[in-house]
Structure 1
């Protein structure tokens, strides 16, 4: 039996949709991409990988904030 991780499937869909030319996108297309990315974020957030990404982004943001002072 083949099992597919939903987060991996959504990541593949996001990459596939973002590779398309910008001129070919409609407003509905853009909104659908945003919804898919948000769903991917919700699925990834509670995982260890999601926590690691959040820590890295938090450190980057704090570094930028301190550098601008």
Structure 2
């Protein structure tokens, strides 16, 4: 039986959509890309990878905040 990971499928769709030329995109096309990226974020967020990315970004943000003081 073949199973498809939804996160991997969304990541492939995002990569394919971002490879297209910027000039040929319509406003609706850009909105659809944003919705797909948000869906990918929701799918990845509860996984260990998503939590690791969230921790890394949190540390990066706190490091930037601390360096500006």
**Is the pair's TM-score, using the shorter chain for normalization, greater than 0.5?**
yes
* CA–CA distance in structure 2, aligned partners of residues 64 and 20 of structure 1: 33
Number of residue pairs matched by the alignment: 69
Query: What corresponds to 2:67 in structure 1?
Result: 67
Deviation above 6 Å: which 4+ runs of structure 1? none
Q: CA RMSD in A?
A: 0.6
Q: TM-score, normalised by structure 2?
A: 0.96
Instruction: For structure 2, list consecutive stretches of 5 or more residues without a partner in the other structure.
Output: none
Q: TM-score, normalised by structure 1?
A: 0.96
Query: What corresponds to 1:26 in structure 2?
Result: 26
Instruction: For structure 1, list consecutive stretches of 5 or more residues without a partner in the other structure.
Output: none
